[in-house]
């Protein structure tokens, strides 16, 4: 198993190109467009992107702090010799 992401440079370049393209579109919408709904959509998308980035940062920064305690004991609530009673329709 190879732990690296295949074509990492291509993936990063495509993501950067997409964000820069949307940034250019956003600048045009906010500065020169007269469509109020489109401005709201663009601003809302950037707000969602900020929340996503914060969530990713939070998850990746706390991901290394998880500890593996090993298998936990399991208690079976309904063992085979004590099945759950079920009523049948006739």
If you average pLDDT over every residue of the chain, what do you get?
A: 84
Residue 24 to residues 27, 40, 43, 56, Cα–Cα distance (Å): 5, 16, 13, 24
Q: How confident is the model at residue 90 (pLDDT cuts 50, 70, 90)?
A: low
pLDDT in tens, 59-74: 777 665 666 677 778 8
- Overall pTM surpassing 0.85 (yes/no): no
Largest CA distance in the chain: 74
Tokens 């950037």, located at residue: 46
The answer to whether 78 and 84 have CB atoms below 8 angstroms apart is yes
Residue 52 to residues 24, 79, 85, Cα–Cα distance (Å): 20, 44, 47
Going from N- to C-terminal start, the domains of the chain cover 8-56
User: How many whole angstroms separate alpha carbon 64 and alpha carbon 66?
Assistant: 6
């Amino acid at each position: 198993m190879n732990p690296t992401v295949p074509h990492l440079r291509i993936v990063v370049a495509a993501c950067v190109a997409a964000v820069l393209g949307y940034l250019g579109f956003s600048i045009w919408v906010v500065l020169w467009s007269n469509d109020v709904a489109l401005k709201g959509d663009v601003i809302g998308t950037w707000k969602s992107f900020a929340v996503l980035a914060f969530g990713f940062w939070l998850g990746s920064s706390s991901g290394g702090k998880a500890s593996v305690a090993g298998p936990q004991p399991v208690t079976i609530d309904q063992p085979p010799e004590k099945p759950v009673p079920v009523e049948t329709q006739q």
